[in-house]
Structure 1
Amino acid sequence: MRDLGAWDYVIVGAGTAGCVLANRLSEDPDVRVLLLEAGKRDNYLWVHIPVGYLYCIGNPRVDWGFKTAPDDGLNGRSLVYPRGKVLGGCSSINGMIYMRGQARDYNHWRQLGLTGWGWDDVLPYFKKSEDHYAWDNELHAQGGNLRVEKQRINWELLNAFRDACEQLGIPKTEDFNGGDNLGSAYFQVTQKSGFRWNGVKAFLKPAQGRPNLQVLTEAHVSRIVFEDGRAGSLELDVAGEASKVTIDGELLLSSGAIGSPQLLELSGIGNPEILKKAGIEPFREMRNVGENLQDHLQLRPVFKVKNAATMNMMASTWTGKAKIGLEYLLKRSGPMAMAPSQLGVFAKTDPSFETANVQYHVQPLSLPKFGEPLHPFPAMTASVCNLRPESRGHVHITSPNKSDQPEILPKYLSAEADKRVAADAIRLTRRIMAAPAMKPYQPEEFLPGPDYTSEEELVTAAGNIGTTIFHPVSTCRMGVDEASVVDGRLRLRGFDNIRVVDASVMPTISSGNTNAPTVMIAEKGADMIKEDRKALA
């Protein structure tokens, strides 16, 4: 067995959070930091070109290739569930949308007893990372590691949709990230000069010259080995070679909402009944590991349109494709520079909601599902998701083999409140498309179809057209109660040298895309780790 030596900090997972931790912790030259990534380096061309997500999702070169279990809320369907298996993790294949969520989200965490996690507490960490293309004020910052830019596109059809929203009382806004994201705007994105700006470029490359930081790719951890009740070492494969890592200080799990609970369960930490059924000898009972899975279910209503440019038509001919490629080559703009979703809208499906409860990702294109060709007719998609779902699912191992994917069951639409929001979201979408601003384009509902009208029919329709928007969180829930998996300082309960630092610790899902909150969690987590080390010195 190959011995990889002893380290002060061993980080499992070089996704968004892992890259942040590796940078911040290795700032101290007196500590040794090892970053482990099961995937390969991010030298795949399509990682860096924004439209390349189309060639990354489902591609084993960069994606774990997970699928959900058949879900009753989706009328028995199973979904492709992309997760980045590459340096940079999901930041290398995601939608690049920079979205913090709402102040209400973090104030709710504080109300749950998590002191230090309110909006005023976390805002400085959002700003610490940020390198905003235009703003440097009380809400935004320049000079940080994470580049945030406006998109290099403009679509007549999306502008009309925005006007239609305004006609329904949904205002236009310039900033989704000030604490209240109600309104419509083009999304700001983690790009620089028309290229994806992933966790590697933002955080890892600036730290690469440090002699106290080592990064290993193709390093797949099998289990944590415990000694005297602490994490003593890891067993792993590095490019297929059995290896061992000794943990002198802390073990930091940053493998995300799927990978972090999976590794804990493979190591005997979790619900004893689930572990025994999977062939794992329980080491420490912790029944909520892998529970509390939350995700944004995006409903994808599609409308045929006329009299407007759409990607469906632009990309349908070799001439059109050539023009798209040439524009990107010469200007780094146009469709190849697009994030998967271009226009954002935050709205209320019912005025009783305190803040916006749904988010639109509007696109001048349509397709049956990711990875399939665009529809052969001009159309647009007005995807809409419930920002604060009450449905809760789980992630659990089914075998002792680290290479076997765990069971992922989101249990979408299992809560009655989520069914109501889904039906109301489809109704709201229809009202927007029927507004005067959209009339020149003669929208005609294609999916789910105008025949779905009653509450029951609309819930069925939601199950038919719903899919993940790739935001799984909360499977290692942070809390002050004994049933929580980690405490407010991200320490795994019952252990003094294991922390979980990634999106899995969110008590409740943030109201929007989850990459920026994950960066914030890692920034704050790094400071906590440094503070605790200093206190012990």
Structure 2
Amino acid sequence: MKTEYDVIVVGAGSAGCAVAYRVARESNLEVLLLEAGSADKNMMMHVPMGFAFLLKPHKNNWSYQTELEPYLNNRVIDLPRGKVLGGCSSINGMVYIRGQKEDFDRWAAEGNKGWAYADVLPYFMRSQHNEAGADAYQGTGGPLWVSEIVDEFPIHQAFIDAAVQAGHSFNAQVNGATQAGVSWFPRTIKKGKRYSSAQAFLGAGRALSNLTVLTHAQVTQVQIEQGVAVAVQAEVKGQSILFSARQEIVLSGGAINTPQLLELSGVGQQARLRALGIQVHKDLPGVGENLQDHWNSYIKQKTQGVKTYYSEGRGLALLRNIARYLLGKKGFLGDSAATIGVFYKALPQASSPDAQIHFAPAASEYDAQGNLRPIDAITISACQLRPSSRGSVHINSVAADAKPSIRLNYLATELDQQVAVAAFKKARKILLQPALQGMLQAELAPGADVQTGEQILEYIKSTGEPVHHLAGTCKMGSDAMAVVDECLRVRGIQRLRIADASIMPSLVSGNTHAACVMIAEKCADFILRSSLIELVSPTRPFGR
């Protein structure tokens, strides 16, 4: 087995697939992409509605859990993470949302030059093939397919009309000039099939002789010599192998696995590492800190006389839909987890939308086996977009396969609690509008008896769920808690970069997959600019 490469990328998730592909495509560098999980052969990963079966523990899910969450009545929260080519993009809800202009301008204002919205927009566009065509905000010709909803459910338009009646404007392009309003969700679905980073970037990279992808390869340590990252140690199907990097190593394991690997490699909080007997190569107190996620509350309302996923997923209707999907990749089996979004101000003093709704003509509950079981209802979920609560993730063992200690501290701050309640109330208001009357019956959850702010907050604490947008644990910046600089280089360690959601100083306002791909595209350019190599096409990496 070849063990020496120019660039080694650890983790084949949303970002890892993209950075490996881009570096290999635009140069003659030999690139190795290492993934701890398997190839994406699970059929449920390719049928979009199969996501409901992918959130429970299985071989392609790291199946992390938090410690007792003190502000959620000491609940333990499941944190599914993709352990497969494509990472979380192979098990997520397939919603393509970039975030707000203000998110990236804020990153830049904090000292991260080159990360303002005007700087990152070309990278969003370069990676994308927008099915509806190109314009000032959307790109075509990139590997990542972004498609629009094919609407077959009358309740969709009724919900949009109800949102407008509740005061939300209709937004025809949520990834355009503004995010605010009610919109159809763009999706990473191509012709009825999930289009993960693995399908998009590794699919496009199959013809690249300088890109090697190795599955079942869990990296256990980055080897650092005199402050330089030179190799990674990996367990490959039971065999320990050292892969050396002539140029750079990129960590793309995500907000949990990347700080875990840094700590195992001697980069992190000095006292914590020494207590575990780990040689410290760089004292970086921010490693594993600043952990963030979005927290969902749910409203489930029973329907009457309208088509929903429930009615289409039973009996003869289900057989018909299976046939439609198998023969033409049509029907609701090819839909994303949510179809319509609303971005709005939960608190009037917010400078831009601070809450997001995911809507789907479906509802579910967990069965005894941990699967999501459909019920006869629709669902509105609402989350705060920019939580102020912060958690952490840290190793508690030198064993690479030991799960780290994770705590999010969801709803720890008064601001987060206020936004959660206000966002819930405004979401509920949409369901009371005339456009939906005649289609809805009783509110199943939380029910009409939950009305006061205290009751709503208690309901959110006891029944809410994470949106699985973990970020921030190796944040970019120049302050004492920063882990990477504006070029994504790990501070104090040469030839080591990070490209994944962990570098976000603060969460983007929305779903994270698109932003992770953008981060990867920028990281690839940093590598190509700094490499003493001849580019295959010098104009391609730095433009469209």
Aligning the two structures, in what range does the TM-score lie when normalised by the shorter sequence? Answer: over 0.9
**Equivalent runs, 1:299-314 vs 2, <5 Å:** 299-314=297-312
- Aligned position for 2:528: 530
Q: Distance in 2 between matches of 1:369 and 1:74?
A: 19
Deviation for aligned residue 1:417: 0.4
SS at match of 1:419: helix
- Aligned position for 1:470: 468
Q: Distance in 2 between matches of 1:453 and 1:270?
A: 46
**Equivalent runs, 1:98-497 vs 2, <5 Å:** 98-278=96-276, 280-315=278-313, 317-369=314-366, 371-374=370-373, 376=375, 378-497=376-495
Native 8 Å contact 1:360 1:385 kept in 2: yes
Native 8 Å contact 1:391 1:418 kept in 2: yes
Q: Distance in 2 between matches of 1:51 and 1:278?
A: 43
Q: Distance in 1 between matches of 2:520 and 2:429?
A: 40
Deviation for aligned residue 1:319: 2.1
The residue type paired with residue 4 of structure 2 is A
SS at match of 2:520: helix
Native 8 Å contact 1:63 1:82 kept in 2: yes
Native 8 Å contact 2:216 2:236 kept in 1: yes
Q: Distance in 1 between matches of 2:93 and 2:374?
A: 21
Distance 1:375 1:238, change over 3 A: closer
The residue type paired with residue 86 of structure 1 is V
Native 8 Å contact 1:104 1:179 kept in 2: no
Q: Distance in 2 between matches of 1:137 and 1:319?
A: 42
Structure 1 window deviating more from structure 2 (295-304 vs 503-512): it is 295-304
SS at match of 2:19: helix
Q: Distance in 2 between matches of 1:218 and 1:442?
A: 48
SS at match of 1:134: coil
Deviation for aligned residue 1:352: 2.1
Distance 1:89 1:224, change over 3 A: same
The residue type paired with residue 343 of structure 2 is F
Distance 1:331 1:536, change over 3 A: closer
Native 8 Å contact 1:4 1:246 kept in 2: no
Q: Distance in 1 between matches of 2:135 and 2:65?
A: 42
The residue type paired with residue 141 of structure 1 is G
SS at match of 1:235: strand
Native 8 Å contact 1:302 1:366 kept in 2: yes
Native 8 Å contact 1:433 1:443 kept in 2: no
Compute the TM-score of the two structures, normalised by the length of structure 2.
0.94
The residue type paired with residue 245 of structure 2 is I
The residue type paired with residue 481 of structure 2 is A
Show CA shifts across 1:72-115 (max 9, x none).
Answer: 22221112211111111111111111111110111111111111
Native 8 Å contact 2:247 2:531 kept in 1: no
Q: Which runs of 5+ in 2 are unaligned?
A: 536-544
Show CA shifts across 1:415-466 (max 9, x none).
Answer: 1100001111121122111111122124422222332333222221111221
Q: Distance in 2 between matches of 1:35 and 1:102?
A: 31
Q: Distance in 2 between matches of 1:535 and 1:454?
A: 64
Compute the TM-score of the two structures, normalised by the length of structure 1.
0.95
Identity of aligned residues (%): 37
Q: Distance in 1 between matches of 2:533 and 2:198?
A: 30
Q: Distance in 1 between matches of 2:188 and 2:277?
A: 42
Q: Give RMSD over aligned pairs.
A: 1.9
The residue type paired with residue 69 of structure 1 is E
Q: Distance in 1 between matches of 2:371 and 2:55?
A: 11
Distance 1:58 1:133, change over 3 A: same
Is 1:507 matched up with 2:517?
Answer: no
Distance 1:535 1:354, change over 3 A: farther
